[in-house]
Structure 1
Amino acid sequence: MKGTTTRPLREILEKTHWLRELPAIMKERVYQDAYEVLFRPGDVVVRKGDPAKDWLGVGEGLLKVSTVHRTGKVVMFSTLPEGSWGGEGTVFKRELFRYDMIAMRPSRVIHLPAATFRWLLDTSVEFSHIIISLLNERLATFMAMVEIDRLSDPVARVACAIGTMFNPVLHPHIGPLLTLSQTELGELIGMSRQSIGAALKRLESEGLISTEYGGIVVKSLAGLSNYQERD
C-alpha cells in the first residue's frame, strides 16, 4: 500500500518494546500467531460494539481512538502512533469495544489474537507487569484528556494535548518531532486548523515548540504539560 513500507512483519515485531522483555519461547509464539492488516486513511480498524478478538499494535501509520456521542459530537480519547498498542483492557475483560479505532494515515496494524494475549498473561510475569503499566498510563492519559476537553483557552488545549502524546510507556517510538499536520492535530483535539495554527504560533513564540516541515518539534515537554490557561 502506498504510504507504508514492505518491511517483514517479524522485523517490525523485533523492535516492539514489550516483546524484547519476553523469553525466547514466548517471542516465537508471538511471531507465529501475530498477523497484520493494511488500512487506508479513514478506514475503520475497530468499530464500537465489535468483540475484542485481538490486541492491536501500530506497525506503521497512525490511528485515532474516538467515539460519536448521541448528540453527534465526536469524543476523542487518544492516538496510537507507530510502535503503540491499544485495546488491552477490552481484550483482558473479554468485552465489546466501546470506541472506534480509525486510521488517519496508511497504516499497518498488527493483530495479536486474544488467545495468545491471555496465554502470555497466564504464563509470563514480565508480560503481566507490562500490561499493568500500560493500563495505569492509559488511565492517566484519559484523565488528562478529560481535563483538556474542559479548557477554554485554545492555546492551553493544544499545549496539553501535545504533552499527553509524549508518553514513553504508551508511545515508546515517539521522538522530539511530532509528525502530525495541523489538520490532524485539529481533528484530534476538536479544533479548526486555523485555531491550531494560531495556538502553535503562540507556543512557538514562548519557546515551547518549533514548527518544521513534517511536524512539530517539542523543546519543553514540561512547559507544554504544565501550561496554564490565560485569562
Structure 2
Amino acid sequence: MPTPADDAPPIEPIEPIEPIEPIDTGDLRALFSRCGWFNALAPEHQALVVAQSHAEHRDAGDWVARRQAPSEYWIGVHRGLVKLAIYNASGRGCTFSGVPSGGWFGEGSVIKRELRKYDVIAIQRSLVLFVPTTTFHALLDSSLPFTGFVIRQLNNRMGEFIASIQNSRLLDVNARVAQSLAQLFNPDLYPDTGATLAISQEELGMLVGVSRQRINQALQHLERLGVLGVAYNQITVVDLPRLTAFGMEQI
C-alpha cells in the first residue's frame, strides 16, 4: 500500500446512503465511549461530540465518503473495515490504506477544510462514526487532550503512508502482504484490532492489490514460519514483531 486496486466501484455520482437503522443518543455515547480520545475529553466536550455527531451502517461495497467532495466529517470505524482509495475515469485505482475497527482518518483534510483526497469504501459491513468538521475544530480550539491526540494521529498516519509507498515499490509480494497486515495491527492507529482480525483473503487482496490466490500463498508462507495463524475469514498474529520486520531486509 498504496497498491493497484483490482476492482473499482462505479465512479458515477450516487446519492448518499441512509442509515440502515437509527442510532439514538444513548447508543451513540456508548459507541464513542470505546474511543480513547473521547474518554480523555472533559464532560462538556463529550456532550458536544454526542450532540453533534452521528453513526451510520455501511454494507460491503458501499461508499462512506467521496473523493473531491467537501470534508464535512472526521470519520471513525466503530466496527468493520474500510479502504481509502482513488480511481480514475477508466476504473483503474490505487488503494492507500485499510482502516479496521477503532481507526479514525481524514483529520488532515478536515483541518485544512479542503476537498477529500480519496474515496472511502466499506470492504466489510461497517458501523461508521461521523464527527462534523465544525465540532472537530471546536475541540481542536478548546481541548488540550484532543489536540494532543490529533498531533499523535497525524504523526502516526504520516509514518504509515511513508512506509506504504516504500513497501509498494521495494518489497516482494510476500513482504507486502506481511507489511499490509502489520499496519492493520498498529496499536497506535487501530487500538481495537487485538490479536485476531476478521478479514477474508479476498478482502486482504483488495488492500494489497493482488489476487486472492496470491494472498493465500503468502499467508501460507507466513503461517509456516510461525508468524501468524490463518482460519476461515480471520487472521491471528502470533508474533507481531516478526510480522512487522518481515521482508524489511529487502530495503
Same fold (TM > 0.5)? yes
Checking the alignment, whether the CA contact within 8 Å between 1:33 and 1:112 is kept in structure 2 is yes
- What percentage of residue pairs aligned between the two structures are identical? 37
User: Higher relative contact order at CA 8 Å, sep ≥6: structure 1 or structure 2?
Assistant: 2
| 2:175 alignment partner, SS class | helix
Q: Once the two structures are superposed, what CA deviation does each residue of 1:126-169 show, in whole Å capped at 9, x if it has no partner?
A: 10000000000000000111122114521111111111111112
Residues 169-211 of structure 1: CA deviation (Å, up to 9, x unaligned)? 2101011102111000011000100000001111111111111
Q: In the alignment, which of 135, 141, 163 is matched to residue 154 of structure 2?
A: 135
Determine whether 1:122 maps to 2:141: yes
Task: Summarize the Cα distance change of 1:69–1:221 in structure 2 as closer, same or farther, 3 Å threshold.
Answer: farther
Asked whether the 8 Å contact 2:201–2:233 carries over to 1, the reply is no
Match of 2:130 among 111, 133, 141: 111
| 43-52 vs 67-76, greater mean Cα deviation | 67-76
Q: Secondary structure at the match of 1:155?
A: helix
Unaligned runs of 5+ in 1: none
- For structure 1, which segment, 103-112 or 113-122, has the greater mean C-alpha deviation from structure 2 after superposition? 103-112
Unaligned runs of 5+ in 2: 1-18
1:182 aligns with 2:201: yes
CA contact (8 A) 1:153 1:229 kept: no
Instruction: Tell me what 2:32 maps to.
Output: 13
Q: Which amino acid aligns with 1:25?
A: E
Secondary structure of 2:176's partner? Answer: helix
- Taking structure 2 as the reference length, the TM-score comes to 0.85
SS at match of 1:150: helix
User: Hey, what's the Cα distance between the residues in 2 that align with 1:228 and 1:64?
Assistant: 23
C-alpha displacement of 1:229: 6.7
Cα distance, 1:118–1:229 mapped onto 2, change above 3 Å: closer
Q: What residue is the counterpart of 2:86 in the other structure?
A: 67
Q: Give 1:198's aligned residue.
A: 217
What is the total number of aligned residue pairs between the two structures? 229
What secondary structure is seen at the aligned counterpart in 2 of 1:79? strand
Q: Kindly indicate whether the alpha-carbon contact (under 8 Å) linking 1:144 and 1:164 is maintained by their aligned counterparts in 2.
A: no
CA distance in 1, matches of 2:217, 2:31: 37
Give SS of 1:197's match. helix
Q: Which amino acid aligns with 1:41?
A: A
